[in-house]
Structure 1
Amino acid sequence: MGRLDGRTAVVTGATSGIGRAAAVRLAAEGAHVFVTGRREPELRDLVAEIGEAGATGVVGDVAVPADLDRLYGAVRESGRRVDVLFANAGGGEIKRLEDVTERHVDFTFGANVKGLLFTVQKALPLLNDGASVILTGSTAGSGGNEGFGVYSASKAAVRSLSRTWANELKARNIRVNTLSPGPVDTPGLTGLAPDAERARALKDVLVAGVPLGRMGRTEEIADAVVFLASDQSSFVTGIELFVDGGQRQV
């Protein structure tokens, strides 16, 4: 028996990294997982890995409202309702203040804040009472690393939204929590740097600030997702759960 048998989950940003690992784990715990992302080949591979009985793929970009409508339309057409929403899609780039452009701000906040907000808002009619909503934050949201100003601000906004939504949805017993990973070896982290050499340098800097002395693994973040999704966290709402090897703790 899985911890999520008979439940339905939605995972955004599922084509790689944390989103992909979380989708696989949620399905392994018994959930039927609706997965979405912008890259169709990777999404198709993920559905094949989980199996069509356990996953439904819908190509889309969370920053595009019509794509979110198609995602939730697929859930509705299946006759299901949502028990777990993992609003994970997001991204960013390293830009110092003098290099920030309007495009950079629009891209980062479009995915990390606007897209996340409407991912949750558009899910509301489909969320079961007692559902679990999990937002992907970041240790960057409570730090001040150079070049991370816009990205960090977007993740601080995510943390703020989770506090408000935990209050606004409490009457339906819907729990809202932020999951904030530390440095995890994912394509998304690598993509923050403009080239491979600077990506390696970035990872070295980040690892130097982690007491456990290493990058996190996507599977470790997925374990935390399952905890927040399941009844094991039934008395947990409004928190920021750091899974960061101690980066922001000691």
Structure 2
Amino acid sequence: MAGKLDGKTALVTGGSSGIGLATAKQFIIEGAFVYITGRRQAELDSAAAVLGDHAKAVRADASNLSDLDSLYSQIKQEKGQLDVLFVNAGGGSFASIGQITEEQFDQTFNTNVKGLLFTVQKALPLIPEGGAIVLNGSMVSVKGDPNFSVYSATKAAVRSFARGWTNDLKDRKIRVNVVSPGPIDTPGLRGLAANEEQRKALYAHLASGVPLGRVGEPEEIAKAAVFLASADASYIAGVELFVDGGAVAV
């Protein structure tokens, strides 16, 4: 049976762990050849070993424009075009108003906003008519959680980019959409807890705000990303798809 992404070339930024790695795996299952990027070589090497021959890992910092130029030059030389782009690289630290530092602000916006913008812009010469761009947002783009104001602002910017770029790219029939996860069991989330007891307490707290009553899995985001990247979503553009167990909608 043909996969949803048969014969496609895809890029997953921040693809060495968590949602990025799960999405790279799912893209491969659906027939794509996948490039993944990340900043830490050891994690990239481990991910590449897991993904196998239908993937290639490239060390690149999404907020470094020279790294992006080198990345796209390599993809152009090796594959000629890029059919699917999943802009997943991101992160941030958290602080309440009054405690936010310039360093924290710059780091979060450089990765989540500047890095995302130029990851997309520099990819455009490689994306053919009818290509698909999926941006990784967050449910906090529409919520006002304490200590999250800077991070939330970056994810609101991601949502806004998808709206504007949908119109910018409509003549090329390139669809731009956002997948916005709720709390997901990733290494980043687990890293917020110092031990297993704290992790269980954190997950229980997060699950209490989710109508489905649990924290999500990276594979659940990956399958949503496949949907938005594939022909199954051929009439979907500019949307923010919340994959959050109903936390935003209910």
| TM-score, length basis structure 2 | 0.95
Question: Any residues of structure 2 matched to 1:79-94 within 5 Å, and which?
Answer: 79-94=79-94
2:238 & 2:128 partners in 1: Cα distance?
18
The aligned amino acid for 1:183 is P
Instruction: Show CA shifts across 1:143-196 (max 9, x none).
Output: 0111111000110010001100011001000000010000001122234x4745
| TM-score, length basis structure 1 | 0.95
Change over 3 Å in CA distance of 1:194–1:102 after alignment to 2: farther
Question: Any residues of structure 2 matched to 1:40-189 within 5 Å, and which?
Answer: 40-52=41-53, 54-189=54-189
Question: Identity of paired residues, percent?
Answer: 53
List alignment gaps of at least 5 residues for structure 1: none
1:207 & 1:8 partners in 2: Cα distance?
36
List alignment gaps of at least 5 residues for structure 2: none
Change over 3 Å in CA distance of 1:195–1:98 after alignment to 2: farther
Deviation at 1:200, TM superposition (A): 5.1
2:79 & 2:210 partners in 1: Cα distance?
45
Q: CA RMSD in A?
A: 1.4
Q: Is contact 2:16–2:38 with CA below 8 Å preserved after alignment?
A: yes
2:223 & 2:30 partners in 1: Cα distance?
11
2:185 & 2:62 partners in 1: Cα distance?
23
Deviation at 1:208, TM superposition (A): 1.1
2:190 & 2:241 partners in 1: Cα distance?
23
The aligned amino acid for 2:212 is L
1:156 & 1:77 partners in 2: Cα distance?
34
1:83 & 1:212 partners in 2: Cα distance?
34
Instruction: Show CA shifts across 1:68-103 (max 9, x none).
Output: 111111101103211100001000112111211001
The count of aligned residue pairs is: 248
Secondary structure of the residue aligned to 1:238 is: coil
1:232 & 1:35 partners in 2: Cα distance?
23
Partner of 1:6: 7
Question: Any residues of structure 2 matched to 1:212-227 within 5 Å, and which?
Answer: 212-227=212-227
Change over 3 Å in CA distance of 1:154–1:202 after alignment to 2: farther
The aligned amino acid for 2:46 is D
Partner of 1:27: 28
2:137 & 2:229 partners in 1: Cα distance?
16
Q: Is contact 1:43–1:59 with CA below 8 Å preserved after alignment?
A: yes
